[in-house]
Amino acid sequence: MNLRQWFNLTFQPRAKVEGLEWNGVTYTFGEIDARSNRMARALEARGFVKGDRVCVYLANCIEMIDLYLACIKLGVIFVPINILYRDREMSHILSDAEPRQLITAAELPALMAETAGQRPDLPEVEIDGEDTAALVYTSGTTGVSKGAMITH
């Protein structure tokens, strides 16, 4: 089983159950699923394919969840960047991770606008349990931060 399958098994039977509250708005598991499917389709429309990396430099927000789940569903490697990091740390991660794109708060409105016209169904992608799902960088306390590959 991979993360994509696990999320499908979790979301679909609970489609009408409240799954998340953010800033006073409640989202059902079905709404979370559809939002992330639309995000996956928007990334796909931008040319993202399985194995591509996307760095995400965002404060906590519902869109961070959309992006994470979209990456899992599309086979894109999710690379979160701590919002407390500045130029030196960011440069290192961007150089090391070699992402197709960096998504920041400035980029988010355009990306969210792109999701509006996307279908809410799951993109077709073959994902193996050994495929990388996320690349999470260590704190770098003993040197430069290192990317830990987290599989499905």
Give residue-wise pLDDT tens across range 60-101. 999 999 999 999 999 999 999 999 998 999 999 999 999 999
- Diameter of the chain measured on Cα atoms: 47
pTM: 0.94
Give backbone dihedrals phi and psi of 124, rounded to 5 degrees, phi first. -85, 115
Judged against a pLDDT cut of 80, whether residue 37 lies above it is answered with yes
Give residue-wise pLDDT tens across range 44-64. 999 999 999 999 999 999 999
Residue 135, beta-bridge partner list:
149
Judged against a pLDDT cut of 90, whether residue 125 lies above it is answered with yes
- The pLDDT value recorded for residue 53 is 98
Q: Give the position of tokens 């894109």.
A: 76
Instruction: Give the pairing type, strands 77-80 and 53-57.
Output: parallel
Contact 118, 38 (CB under 8 A): yes
Query: Percentage of the chain with pLDDT > 70?
Result: 100
Q: Which amino acid is at 116?
A: A
118: three-class secondary structure by DSSP: coil
Residue among 78, 64, 54, 75 at smallest CA distance from 32: 64
Q: How far apart are the first and last CA of the chain?
A: 8
Q: Report the chain's mean pLDDT, rounded to a whole number.
A: 95
